[in-house]
Structure 1
Amino acid sequence: MTITAAADGSALGNPGPAGWAWYIDDETWRAGGWPHGTNNQGELMAVLDLLRSTAHRADEPLKILCDSQYVINCLTKWMPGWKRKGWRKADGKPVLNVDLLKDLDDALKGRNVAFEWVKGHAGHSLNEAADDRARAVATAYQRGGKSIPSGPGFPGAQLSEPQNAETRRAETRSLSVQRSDARTAPAEAAVFQNPHAATGPAPSATVQAQPSASASASGSASASVSGADEAEPDLFSVLEEDFRDSAGQQDAVATVTALEKRLLEPAVRGDLGEVARILHPDFEEIGSSGRTWSREEMLLVLADEDHEPVDMTPLSASRLNESAILLQYRTRSAGRTVLRSSLWLLTEPASSRGAAAEGTWRLRFHQGTPE
């Protein structure tokens, strides 16, 4: 009999108070979290705890419903390549959340696991239940760490309370990652000053992680996707599929808004390869000081800067025509608020980079004005 469960994560501020949860029914669920973590860490920890909670029934197939493409791609597409490179990406940089990923790699050994994407916040009962519990944990930590829900767990599982040893160990991992990824940014650059992360993106298909001879030997899940172990994260591929209507048409405004939020994330801006793919070849920015920045100047600045999250408040998003979208929003950091405008243009199709067939949205112009 297949065990079906939803797994989800939540972070208030991202990074900030964070929670994770998996849910089967009202009598079978579990949750935990940390005072400081990211949404992606919560998503990964939810899957890890689910695998551990069902380890005593490893002979039964496990179906995991996720609204995060990051999780599914990590475990079924990217991880084999990362392992071959010593847990480093193609550009040689260390893989984020590597301790959680190594634990997941071990937990997947010998398991028959299928990952299926479900659209988040779209009324899916299991996903909504997991999301509610993960967010409740994050909220509890935000309010001081009292009355944190943990759930009844899985019958027969031999695990400690999620808020005890396991949570403290994961919290230590989380803090070490955040110290290296969240730093302080200078006030000059507008679009890149002080990042803010968005909710993890989602994929468009079901992928299978089936045990095999190679999987059992190496401890990695195998995906039923050709060449999957060579794939690397790409912001366009991991975001654009998350915003499609029932007919499969891309919601361009939602896609661009998500890209803008992701561009403000410390881990993203710290990867200049990803930033270079987002910025239009003719990108220009008028910074808060009035200085104009070119694409090359901005990339050079980013290479030497530290990054820190800020709060972001969307104000408006207007599709000017089929190929142009104007975003306006407010950021707040250290008591300073800035009004920002970004112009996104739809470029030629770039399927070789994993983008949607209709083309790739790139940031052409940005301006920030201090309030």
Structure 2
Amino acid sequence: MTIIAAADGSALGNPGPAGWAWYVDDSCWQAGGWPHGTNNQGELMAVLDLFKSTAHLPHEDLRILCDSQYVINCITKWMPGWKRKGWRKADGKPVLNVDLLKEIDQAIAGRKYTFEWVKGHAGHDLNEAADERARAVALAYQQGTAAPVGPGFPGALQAVAAGPATPGVAAPAAPAGQPVQPAPAASRLLAEPALFGESGIFGQADLFSELDDEIRPGGIPAEDVVLELERELLRPDVRADIGRVGVLLHPDFAEIGSSGRYWTRDAMLMALEENPGEAVVLEPLSADRLSDTSILLTYRTVARSGTALRSSLWVLDRDQWRLRFHQGTPEK
């Protein structure tokens, strides 16, 4: 028998109140979350809990439907290399979400499994069901209310219903079917660990939070937000961070590079992991809002290797600006 399940995560604000869930059917699913986490942590935790919840069926094939190429690539492509390097990336920096990845590495040992990428919010029944449950937990933490954690997997040896208080650290299990009881908002603020202390653009903890001025009245114009995100994406330290780049790039991202090569999202992530490139200076040319959900940037980059004219199409996807297409042309 093959177990088919969707796994998904949700973070309001990214980072912010976060939830995760896996879903087989209405009688077999589980969810949990944290007061503060990221989408990637939610996605990873959903996969980890699915493996733990099916550990009593080690000989069954497990087919995992996932809309996060970051998670799929972490587990199926990048993790072996990171382990050989002591859980460090090509640039020597620690791998993000390493605690969760180490637990997943242990949980998948000896298991038969495959991952299948599905496009999020595209009407896939299992993916939509997992997404709804993950988002419900995130909303519960945001509002200080209870959220159902699901019945779990029949015969599971141990549930992880509430999820760890801090991503990657196990928490006591809640009885199957019982609700999560998030702490009151005030106590969450006092007890919450500083997981995201690094300052990003505009003093925000997360570089890729939704900052659109139409969604946040009185905020920074969307054109300025996208320009700053483009600057961040050109920094070698950011480009070497697969997790951060994975959040910025749209699932359908494509690029025609200055060399004429066509790049897919997966190919770009793998290339940047090994070589994040040189530092460049961005000289803006224009930022045109094509619609409420799309902005076209044009600019010049100046580097030791020369100058290039570039264009980037950014789209608003799930309340977050993501790079959909990029093209570069060497300047003569």
Q: TM-score, normalised by structure 2?
A: 0.62
SS of match in other structure, 1:92: coil
Shift in CA distance, 317/77, structure 1 to aligned 2, threshold 3 Å: same
CA distance in 2, matches of 1:5, 1:132: 14
Does residue 179 (structure 1) correspond to residue 194 (structure 2)? The answer is yes
Q: Which has the higher contact order (CA 8 A, sep 6+)?
A: 1
- Whichever residue aligns with residue 10 of structure 2, its letter is S
Report whether the alignment pairs 1:233 with 2:242: yes
- Between the aligned partners of 2:168 and 2:245, the Cα distance in structure 1 is 30
Aligned partners of 2:31 and 2:133 also within 8 Å: yes
Instruction: Work out whether 1:197 is the aligned partner of 2:208.
Output: yes
The 1-side partners of 2:58 and 2:169 are apart by: 28
> Is the CA contact (8 Å cut-off) linking 1:28 and 1:154 kept in structure 2?
yes
Per-residue deviation, residues 36-93 of structure 1 (Å, max 9, x unmatched): 1111110000000000111111101000000001111110111111111111111111
| Correspondences of 1:117-136 after superposition (within 5 Å) | 117-136=117-136
Q: 1:197 to 1:159 in 2, by over 3 A?
A: farther
Give the CA deviation at 1:237. 7.8
1 CA distance for matches of 2:315 and 2:102?
40
Deviation at 1:284, TM superposition (A): 3.2
Report the AA paired with residue 208 of structure 2: A
Alignment partner of 1:167 is 2:167: no
Give the drift of 1:168.
3.0
Q: What is the number of residues matched between the two proteins? A: 245
- Name the counterpart of 1:157: 156
Post-superposition offset of 1:161: 5.1
The code of the aligned residue for 1:233 comes to: I
Find the counterpart in structure 1 of residue 294 from structure 2: 317
Alignment of 1:346 with 2:327, yes or no, is yes
Q: Is 1:62 paired with 2:39?
A: no
**1:324, CA displacement in angstroms?**
3.0
Aligned position for 1:307: none
Q: CA separation in 2, counterparts of 1:149 and 1:233?
A: 33
Aligned to 1:243: 252
Report the counterpart of residue 310 of structure 1 in structure 2: none
> What is the CA deviation profile of residues 134-176 of structure 1, one whole-angstrom value per residue up to 9, with x for unaligned ones?
00000000001x212200110000224512xx53364758999
Cα offset, 1:179, TM superposition: 2.7
- Seen in structure 2, the aligned counterparts of structure 1 residues 345 and 115 have a Cα distance that, compared at 3 Å, is closer
Helix, strand or coil at the partner of 1:162: coil
Equivalent in the alignment of 2:53: 53
Aligned partners of 2:55 and 2:157 also within 8 Å: no
Q: For residues 66 and 345 of structure 1, what CA distance do their matches in structure 2 show?
A: 25
Aligned to 1:20: 20
Q: Report the alpha carbon displacement of residue 281 of structure 1 after superposing the two structures with TM.
A: 3.6
How many angstroms apart in 2 are the aligned matches of 1:16 and 1:234? 16
- Does the CA contact (< 8 Å) of 1:18 and 1:39 recur in 2? yes
Percent of pairs with identical residues: 56
Residue of structure 2 in register with 1:270 after alignment = none
Structure 2 CA distance for partners of 1:82 and 1:161, relative to 1, 3 Å: closer
Aligned CA distance change for structure 1 residues 100 and 177 (closer, same or farther; 3 Å): farther
Which letter maps to 1:45? Answer: M
8 Å Cα contact 1:11/1:17 also seen in 2: yes
One-letter amino acid of the counterpart of residue 149, structure 2? S
TM-aligned CA distance change 1:139 to 1:282, over 3 Å: same
- Structure 2 residue runs of 5 or longer lacking an equivalent are 172-187, 211-239, 256-264, 266-271, 286-290, 299-308, 317-322
The 2-side partners of 1:56 and 1:108 are apart by: 13
Tell me, yes or no, if the aligned pair for 2:72 and 2:115 is still in contact at 8 Å.
yes
CA shift, 1:242, in A, is 1.4
CA RMSD after TM alignment: 4.1
Say yes or no: does 1:36 pair with 2:36: yes
Residue 2 of structure 1 deviates from its aligned partner by: 0.6
Q: Deviation at 1:14?
A: 0.9
3-state DSSP of counterpart to 1:32:
strand
Equivalent residue number for residue 78 of structure 2? 78
